[in-house]
A and B are shown apart, each in its own frame.
Chain A
Amino acid sequence: MRHLTPKAITLLALVALILVAPLFFPSSFYYRVGTLMFINGLAVTGLVILIGYAGQISLGHAGFCGIGAYACALAPVHLGLPPVLAMLLGAVISGALAYLVGRPILRLKGHYLAVATLGFGILIFMVLSNESWLTGGPDGMQVEDLGLRALLKSVGISVPAAELWYWLSALVLLLGAALALNLHTSSTGRALRSLHDSEIAARTVGVDVAHFKLMAFVISAVYASVSGSLLAMMNKFVSPDIAGFLHSVQLVTMTVLGGAGSVFGAITGASILTALPQGLTIFHDYEHIVLGLIMMLVMIFLREGLVPSLIKRFSRRQG
């Protein structure tokens, strides 16, 4: 293990977990939960770049998920695009929008940035929810099938939909994680992290602060958009909830709970918070109480997030 970089370790661990997990799946329902973990994990990986590397906050990122999701719902119907191109189109729109609003918004600090991104997310949600002639309104709309299963079938491979999505989303997540980890070690990553520690210090050593913040914002928007597209295509259905405030908060919570500074941590956070509600159903009416308590306890006692805090504790004990 000595000659393996942290990046390689993270990726290998992810690959191992993805490959081994299905051995424990008692039913194909678990493939769906796994897929949801990966899709959330992708959006959250984007937030690691924004929150963990660049130290900025966003309470509106679900808005970009919404753009990605509705691109996949609308572009095939209105523009005749195949779903894969629709996903790319969504990512381009999200990135461009993030670039446009990012400049003025990212001048704000702390809670002011939080409220501005919150407002931005709510605006996207309102458009998706109110323009029912286009989006089907709050009740949502159907999304065209990706067609991948049919394609595989035509060459003689038959895969259940749940499994196909598990492997497909895992692949996209690995790709996203690898890119994020590359960014971490690149000079851009170093610039971003210097920004996180101290914006003023970063500026004095010649980092173009505004440029790098904007870059982190755009990249994280594209991650969120792709995750929204995947969710829409898997569900073959989309509703404005995906762009809602609660989803934005969920994404930030996943990031911070798992550990905003680490890709592996944040994906762990996404996995835990995706699986948790399924586990909590045994508490029936007490679901919310337990969920709230867990969130508070983790953040109070492991404030850097689950994974980084645990690693720190473990290594301290070791020596």
Chain B
Amino acid sequence: MSDLLQFVFSGLTVGAVYALVALGFTIIYNASDVVNFSQGEFVMLGGMSTVFLSAAGVPLPAAAILAVVITAAVGVALNKFAIEPARNASVVTIIIITIGASIFLRGVAQIVFDKQLHRFESFSGDAPIEILGATILPQSIWVIFGASVIFAALYVFFTRTLTGKAVLATANNRLAARLVGINTNFIMTLSFALSAAIGAVAGVLVTPITLTSYDIGIALALKGFAAAMLGGMGNPFGALVGGLLLGLIEALTAGYISSTYKDAAAFIVILAVLFIMPSGLFGRAAVNRV
């Protein structure tokens, strides 16, 4: 029993990170139909900027906030200089552009920062908390808590604010949104900023646990993308469920079946789900444009 709980704790911690990355994918996808493969680089930028700002003497909380702002700015720049000029290009073309962007950002990071591993102190120490024979680190609780707050805040934003509703309207039908006076360019800028900021927050939260370096982005982008598709692209709730599910599958497979093939198990489940539900667990049925 305590073993199972330990696996669940592990799965939730890792899953919360996947969920945040998947959420980043979803927000940008909703506003622009773009799958942004440089999403993982935002997580890297958040963590690495915090490390280097705090090394330069900025107090950790301020460094973290600054890192999120910097990353959001990078997100806006990415939209402005790489995505907007390529509007209406085909899906693969835009995928290649975002992959190019991720190589570019990684290249910049290895110059501006370095190629070593880094970490900063956990927010509330490293003394494990024991629950029913299993243990969890205070930082894991921060990660899970942080992810929950972001999801709650986004829920309020999308359902209660005019801007949030405008984002949803744009996601549903860009032309119609423009016709009723929504500035869809602003919505896209906002989405990239938001998505980058969420990635950066994830980076800040997990660096004390997972460590960070210039090249952590690819693996995270892969898992986050898979989580988003598992949940159903375009659905923030799907991103949450997809991310947590992916984390739990990996932890339980590692614990009960085989640690060698835990990543394989995750992808087998994704393939199985997609064969039965071709739009993921909570996705809209794919629209066919004639």
Contact = CB atoms under 8 A, between A and B. Distances in A.
A and B associate: yes
Interface of A: 51, 57, 104-105, 107-112, 114-116, 118-120, 122-123, 126, 130, 198-201, 245-246, 249, 252-253, 256-257, 260, 285-296, 299-301, 303
B93 interface: yes
Contacts of A292: 100-107
B82 to A, nearest CB: 5
A112 B100 contact: no
Given A126-B261, A252-B92, A295 B267 contact: no
Contacts of A300: 82, 85-86, 89, 97
Interface stretch (B53-61, B190-198, B268-276): B268-276
A112 B107 contact: no
Contacts of A119: 226, 267-268, 270-271
B91 A57 contact: yes
Interface residues of B, number: 47
B290 interface: yes
Contacts, number: 133
A285 B110 contact: yes
Nearest to A126: B264
B211 interface: no
A130 B258 CA distance: 12
A119 B104 CA distance: 25
Contacts of A130: 260-261
Contact of B107 (A116, A245, A246, A289): A289
B82 A295 contact: no
Interface stretch (B127-135, B167-175, B179-187, B278-286): B278-286
Interface in B76-122: 82, 85-86, 89-97, 99-108, 110-111
A107 B229 CA distance: 15
Contacts of B91: 57, 110-111
Contacts of A115: 225-226, 229, 270, 274
A110 B218 CA distance: 21
Given A109-B278, A115-B270, A199-B288, A303 B90 contact: yes
A286 B111 contact: yes
23 contacts: A51-B92, A108-B274, A109-B278, A110-B91, A112-B274, A115-B226, A115-B270, A116-B270, A116-B271, A118-B222, A122-B263, A130-B260, A201-B290, A245-B218, A252-B95, A256-B93, A256-B96, A289-B107, A291-B104, A292-B104, A292-B107, A299-B86, A303-B89
